[in-house]
Amino acid sequence: MRVLFGGLAAIALVVGGFFVIRAQQQDDDLAAIAPPPPEPEDAELPIADPGTMRGPAPPEATELTREERRFARYDRNRDGIITREELLASRTKAFKALDKDGNNLLTFEEWAAATSERFAAADADGNGRLSAPEFATTKPKRPVSRCKC
């Protein structure tokens, strides 16, 4: 048992010594960095002609990332927060289109009617089956952005 503890203590001393030496080397490296030269106090700054003075260049406009654009579509009032109402507003139009009787309730019959109408519109050859090209026509169309940003 004494041998085990002695071995662990020796390892701890070696590791501790390594860290002490490494810290001293880093301090020496930092001390070797020269500070910037002091600016002369009596140097006068050149005065520019007011007609040629210009301010700093405007910052470059960055293009929004895909996620930022997606977030902005839902954040209707542009306050940086998406509320439940803002998130569900995009679904309201689709819900109203399915709710044929306008009672704000979607029954299975209304859902099934819309689905069967969509199937019938996609089944171009009328055989009761959708081929891959026919099925591709059922893909929801992406809304066109009205933002002219």
113-148 per-position pLDDT tens digit: 888 888 888 888 888 888 888 888 877 776 666 666
Q: What is the pLDDT of residue 82?
A: 84
CA distances from 92 to 79, 81, 86 (A): 21, 19, 10
Q: Which fold has domain 83-136?
A: Recoverin; domain 1 (1.10.238)
Q: What is the pLDDT of residue 69?
A: 83
Q: What is the pLDDT of residue 139?
A: 74
User: Where along the chain do its domains lie?
Assistant: 1-30, 83-136
CA-CA-CA-CA torsion sign (81, 83, 87, 91): negative
Q: What is the pLDDT of residue 112?
A: 83
Q: What is the pLDDT of residue 74?
A: 81
pTM of this structure = 0.35
